[in-house]
Amino acid sequence: MSKFIFITGGVVSSLGKGLASASLAMLLEQRGLTVRMLKLDPYLNVDAGTMNPYQHGEVYVTPDGGETDLDLGHYERFASGPLSRDSNVTTGQIYDAVIRRERQGGYDGACVQVVPHITDEIKSRVRKMCSPEVDVVLAEVGGTAGDIESLPFLEALRQMALEEGPGNVSFVHLTLLPFVRAAGELKTKPSQHSVQRLREIGIQPNMLMVRTEKAIDDDIRRKLSLHCNIAQDAVVEIKDVEHIYEVPLVLRRQRADDIVCNQLHLPGAAPELGVWEEMLHTLKNPEGRVTIAVVGKYAELPDAYKSIYEALTHGGIANRVRVHLKKILSDDVTPERVAEQFDDVDGVLVPGGFGERGINGKIVAAEYARTQKIPYFGICLGMQVQVVEFARNVLQLPAAHSSEFSPDGPEPIIHLMADQRVISQRGGTMRLGQYACDLLPGTKAHAAYGEERVAERHRHRFEFNPAYRVRCEANGMRFAGINPETGLIEISEIVDHPWMVGVQFHPEFQSKPVAAHPLFRDFVAAAVQHRKVQS
């Protein structure tokens, strides 16, 4: 029978519940347990697909095409349990399901209410993650204790604790211990009040994780234990760390996994963390440094390209170098300024995105990387930009563009396929989720993967127009990856270039700190070589 761990937050948002959840899941996996994770999000959106990056950050894509919260990226980077669209449950999904069922007569004419109908639907989504081989279902609840939006979720979890019985559910609450500089001390009152709100709902946390910039002493532990009704050894300090990948070790030093396993009567030896510790040692003791320019329309937002930034870090670990990110707004890149802006970079990465803003700057960046032989990695729109630039400046087609931005243009080298237009009329407009890609031997992509066929995740509408394939190949562009079912172009490379690769998919979603994605690994390796040549 699966056990349950529910992680809630209090005081303020953005404390790192996702990282704490992922870190705890990783420790449990290293003890030999099978863990499944999910995020319960209180917002009314059905999924994250239409949410503004300025408010929400990146949209994370699961293999089955779910557009989800970015915390699922943390789950996949730290732990190994498979994720799907079922791993992200929103209030919008819950109400949509309940209202549809009511319209179909599914409640036999009953008065549909938050309790029990909404809470029952929430519980069914959580229990959907259970199976005989799953030891632990770990669910993170978005928002903070006291938010009106979170109340149905917390009520559902309270009911689950009662229904599952003692020893089958553990509650972990993450709060903030603010340091008041005028008083020179950490304040526990916000955490006390946050736990009090949970206890009013009927939830008694079994463990308290506290985010703090200062180490806590025994007096603070005793105070939190007394006022929050939590065992003193279950008060776990999460002090600010240099690297997020230190968090599992921080939790392990305080035996957080032992505490949870004891509460839930779970077996398992101490976790084996040698590989993780070796990765951290490499991260903290690099043998060199490279500078990668990330040219995007949301470059000023740390969460908009979260998985890409992490994947570049992983590529650095694999090459034993530190990757310094130079974030450049694509709006600011112009032919007059590009040489100055990219003078100190060893590689250029253009990420995915939607909308025309900043597209000209991305094209300029791609041209500069091509002509100056700087390693270039184009992801999704970044590949399309690479192709448009090549068509304009090598094929001498100045009107070449994507029909996304120039619907009636004469040279639609990137276009919306006919069958996609049909799909669009039915309400679905994107190629979402995991698709196969056959690799061409002798290409940089094939050398990176070392395999004949791979599978990668997509999130895009527009594709390379095959009408231009022959001309591109005759002039120095090579198509290194093809979808075997549709013939769609997945990977483009410039032959006469040290490393210029564009991919239609999002490889960043499959990169881990202990196993860098092959393309990010080789892109950083090319940047290292470029730096050596320039030196």
243 tagged catalytic:
no
SS3 273: coil
Q: Under 8 Å CB-to-CB from 253, ≥6 apart: which residues? A: none
111 tagged catalytic:
no
Using the structure block, give the residue that is written with the tokens 């915390």: 71
380 tagged catalytic:
yes
CB 296 within 8 A of CB 358: yes
Nearest to residue 477, comparing CAs of 513, 447, 509, 440? Answer: 440
Half-sphere exposure of 520 (CA within 13 A, CB side): 30
Instruction: Report DSSP letters for 5-67, one per residue.
Output: EEEEE-SSS-S-HHHHHHHHHHHHHHTT--EEEEEEE-SSSSSSTT--HHHH-PPEE-TT--E
Instruction: Report DSSP letters for 302-320, one per residue.
Output: TTTTHHHHHHHHHHHHHTT
Rounded CA-CA distance 470/472 in Å is: 5
Please give the helix or strand (H or E) that residue 518 lies within, else none.
helix 518-534
Using the structure block, give the residue that is written with the tokens 């229904």: 163
Quick one: three-class SS letters along 81-127? CCCCHHHEEEHHHHHHHHHHHHHCCCCCCCCCCHHHHHHHHHHHHHH
Rounded CA-CA distance 254/237 in Å is: 8
* 481 bridge partner residues: 439, 491
Active-site residue, from 456, 508, 517, 530:
508
CA dihedral 20, 21, 22, 25 (to 10 degrees): 120
Active-site residue, from 58, 117, 155, 380:
380
Active-site residue, from 117, 446, 458, 506:
506
Please give the positions annotated as active site.
Answer: 380, 506, 508
